[in-house]
């Protein structure tokens, strides 16, 4: 993430995240201290859409088949609430966030 990101700063980014790969808590905010408002269960037929993302509490998940996932990115879901990026496949999250990254040439997006 860029050093210009501040905790709690929301970045609009409509994106398809796909299904969760594990049971995933949806919280009222991008923090582990925020109340859980919903539980998502893994189902390959059910994908989720993000409205955007925000930096928040770092989450470490050690049960993924490819190893440990660590992220401080939280997605605001179109269904309501926030979910840590660790609940979605790392490859998908990497593509979504790469699309959000500013150009390395320093030019501004339109």
Q: Residues 50-94: pLDDT tens digits?
A: 999 999 999 999 989 989 999 999 999 999 999 999 999 999 999
Task: Give the pLDDT band of residue 7 (cuts 50, 70, 90).
Answer: low
Let me know if residue 29 belongs to a domain. Answer: yes
Please state, in angstroms and rounded to a whole number, the distance separating the CA atoms of residues 64 and 5: 27
Task: Give the per-residue pLDDT at 100.
Answer: 73
Give the predicted TM-score (pTM) of the model.
Answer: 0.83
Asked whether residue 73 is domain-assigned, the answer is yes
Evaluate whether residue 89 is within a structural domain.
Answer: yes
Question: How many domains, in total, are found in the chain?
Answer: 1
Helices (H), ranges, 17-81: none
Is residue 107 included in any domain, yes or no? no
* CB-based contact 88:97 (threshold 8 Å): no
User: Does residue 3 lie within any of the structural domains?
Assistant: no
Question: What's the rounded Cα separation, in Å, for the pair 22 and 61?
Answer: 10
Determine, yes or no, domain membership for 28.
yes
Residue 4 lies in a domain: no
Q: Which residues span the domain enclosing 75?
A: 11-100
pLDDT at 3: 36
């Amino acid at each position: 993430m860029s050093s210009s990101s501040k905790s709690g700063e929301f970045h609009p980014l409509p994106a398809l995240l796909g299904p969760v790969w594990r049971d995933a808590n949806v919280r009222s905010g991008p923090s582990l201290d925020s109340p859980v408002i919903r539980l998502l269960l893994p189902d390959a037929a059910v994908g989720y859409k993000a409205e955007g993302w925000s930096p928040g509490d770092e989450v470490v998940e050690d049960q993924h088949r490819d190893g440990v996932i660590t992220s401080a990115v939280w997605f605001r879901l179109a269904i309501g609430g926030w979910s840590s990026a660790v609940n979605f496949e790392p490859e998908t999250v990497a593509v979504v966030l790469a699309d959000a990254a500013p150009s390395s040439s320093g030019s501004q997006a339109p």
